Structure 1
């Protein structure tokens, strides 16, 4: 387990990226969501590893990106916050294809035992060019993840529906000391 790597996961459109932007503004290193980076790359290059074109290829690429992100993040001291990660991608691939990938991939590559998840929050949910799925699919994703994390030995902590600043305070207070920002 890497006690410095903190995963922010949960429902799409639940405020993960906004929370990560707040943590980054406070001086903490953050790792952007693999899926959004892949979608941007694929759209720019007319690629097909997109969730709405070839979801298995997209998820396999997300696993690869998440593994590289974890390796790169080792260079940082203190807390490193991840906007989604390895468990999200492996869990989705296993649910989609039935391939047994989750435990083999995630068992030796761990985040902090506490995983913060954004619950479904319809009042702030929006679609865009990269998030094309509807709220029902996002809520189903959340429910899959909150069942998956405990099976892998993680403690799931639902983030309260409060401002990004208050959410960041909640995360940092819950984690306690030991991961001072670099600011």
Structure 2
């Protein structure tokens, strides 16, 4: 019986959306989810909001390693959870390597296990969203300026390319056009 389950269980394709803050990733992920796809959402806002409830306004700025540990653990758990889902495509709003990209951006040292984790959990396709001034907005959890968002974008690209990923740039268009672009690229993976 277990053999039959293994034969029937398809290996899901793991697709990650990356980009600096305020690039429209979350709107696109929600729209993809509305199309019926399984999506794992960004967890940094949840971690930040929880810290704010505990009186720490910006955990990433105050304790970057603790914040990054929490993100790394949460994103690894999302990856592990995705392994149990029997669907052809699974989407992630940010991937595990985003953690080290942000740490590099902040020039904050991190343990070697972060790098090993990046190399252990692999994704099938990476879409990156370029920084787009027309839609960029700061808020309570997004403290970065537009210029900082541009820098973060470059660290993300460098990190993922350094891990051997090919990046597909999502055009600066409306949400529905971006969704159509992404879905047309995943067919035949």
**Normalised TM-score (structure 2):** 0.85
Secondary structure of the residue aligned to 2:123 is coil
Q: Which residue of 1 aligns with 2:46?
A: 37
Higher helix share: 2
Gaps of 5+ in 1: 179-183
Deviation sequence 1:88-136 (CA, Å, 0-9, x none): 0122234532334553111110111x21011010110001111011111
Deviation sequence 1:117-160 (CA, Å, 0-9, x none): 11010110001111011111111010111111111111111110
In structure 2, relative to structure 1, the CA distance for the partners of 1:101 and 1:123 (3 Å cut) is farther
Is residue 12 of structure 1 aligned with residue 21 of structure 2?
A: yes
Gaps of 5+ in 2: 1-10
Please tell me whether the aligned partners of residues 104 and 155 of structure 2 are also in contact (alpha carbons under 8 angstroms): no
The structure whose Rg is larger is 2
Aligned match for 1:60, one of 64, 69, 73 = 69
Tell me how large the CA RMSD over aligned residues is: 1.9
Give the CA deviation at 1:19: 0.5
Counterpart-to-counterpart distance in 2, 1:168 and 1:5: 16
Counterpart-to-counterpart distance in 2, 1:102 and 1:68: 14
**Normalised TM-score (structure 1):** 0.88
Please tell me whether the aligned partners of residues 103 and 152 of structure 1 are also in contact (alpha carbons under 8 angstroms): no
- Aligned residue-pair number: 176
Q: Which residue of 2 aligns with 1:90?
A: 100
Counterpart-to-counterpart distance in 1, 2:160 and 2:137: 25
